[in-house]
Amino acid sequence: MSKPVREVALEVLLQIEKHQAYSNLLLNQTVKRANLDPRDVGLLTEIVYGTIQRRDTLDYYLNYFVKKGVHSLNDWVRVLLRLSVYQLVYLDRIPERAIVHEAVTIAKKRGHKGISGMVNGVLRSLIRQGVPTIDKGQSSIEQIAIETSFPIWLVQRWVEQYGTEITKEMCESSLIPPHVTVRVNQVKSTVEQALERLQVEGVQARFGELSEDALIIEKGNVFQTSAYLEGIVTAQDESSMLVGRALGVKEGMEVLDTCAAPGGKSTHIAEQMNDRGEVFSFDLHEHKVKLIREQANRLGLTSIKAEATDARKLKMHMNGKQFDRVLIDAPCSGFGVIRRKPDIKWSKQLKDVEAIKEIQSSILNEVAPLLKTGGTLVYSTCTVDKDENEKVVQSFLDRHPDFQLDKTLIERLPEKAKSSKHYKDGMITILPQDFHTDGFFIASLIKN
């Protein structure tokens, strides 16, 4: 017999809280293991993601009703209250009495009568009195942090980098659930043909808002369609699709993708080359390289050679070989994909940003000699942090006078992106609120 969905949600949230488990991976594993009713999978996902996304706002509300403050409670009681308040405040289709009854039942099962009575009292008081308003007497940084549930240090950092208004928009946009977006494999189909094919299979979709290769899924499970299984479409966010286009590849080229797993950009590059040429795809771990091979096989692409190697050792590994194009989609803090992975904002610290900058710089330094003279190197990340983006690129250019920013990048960007106020010669930052996509950074460099 399967467990009630809120009890499963509590266990998932506790593992994320205690062990910094990745929410997306843990949810996928739990859904497979928990024998949940298919109708409950959506509710489980909503409760888990919503509770993580709104964590500090929920704690702000709870502190008004828990005598010694929410952090005085045992971990599981605190998480149980958070997920219950999330449902009461942000979900309107679940009766309040059902939420309270379920929370009290779980509290009795895991604790004792005193705890279940406290849980009952807190939730009923909140229903009776309503949630407190957020104190307007706080600084703008504290207010953004509480209202949008972001760590104060991160809000402070973004305000210094982008200003208060843009930071507030960025934090608010991270609370909006992302679209499911797919890229059309144009070796097999046009975008128009793929749209018609999905509609025949009962999936409602529309053209992308940013990338010419994209379809946005509005209704239906695209991953169970024959169009997906036959490799006509593959999952990828629209801003991520701009990276492959930024390389400007042509048929017959030799391309190096240094941090390639799970293979979204490698396969996009191969598709643009009409699967003629060679894409050398490397990643650090063999189990991730397996994902690249699986994607290439499903999409029917034979030009991809995938192998496990540390990008910082590629120069020795390639033994003097050079490439027409090089992509470094560098490991990063991931602050641009918080909508999809909300645990990032709680698991990352300032020291992590400092550490990852060193890795990004060392990869750039190691890989740069592998580019042919006159070739193009694209450096990209899924973060909006300027230290990991513009500063890493500028530091590289200062040490490598044979490289320069590629002003022709703009010719390979979609019309909407060309007018972005975050475009500079050879570099563009896409903020999550700009086009309702993931946040991304792309820099194009030419080797003289």
Give the residue numbers marked as catalytic. 382
Among positive and negative, which fits the CA dihedral 43, 183, 296, 198? positive
331: left (phi over 0), alpha (psi -120 to 50) or beta: beta
CA distance linking residue 423 with residue 82, whole number of Å? 40
Q: Which of 126, 206, 105, 171 is nearest to 342 (CA)?
A: 171
Binding residues for S-adenosyl-L-methionine: 259-265, 283, 310, 329
Cα 352 from Cα 149, distance rounded (Å): 20
Encoded amino acid at 333, one letter: S
Q: Are the beta carbons of 391 and 422 closer than 8 angstroms?
A: no
User: Residue 85: helix, strand or coil by DSSP?
Assistant: helix
Strand-pair category, 371-381 with 440-447: antiparallel
CA-closest candidate to residue 326, choices 392, 261, 374, 376: 376
Strand, helix or coil at 65? Answer: coil
Dihedral angle of Cα 330, 430, 24, 177, to the nearest 10 degrees = 180
**From CA 10, how far away is CA 81, in angstroms rounded?**
10
Q: Which amino acid is at 371?
A: L
3-state class (DSSP) for residue 172: helix
**Which residues define the annotated binding site?**
259-265, 283, 310, 329
CA dist., res. 83 & res. 90, Å (int): 10
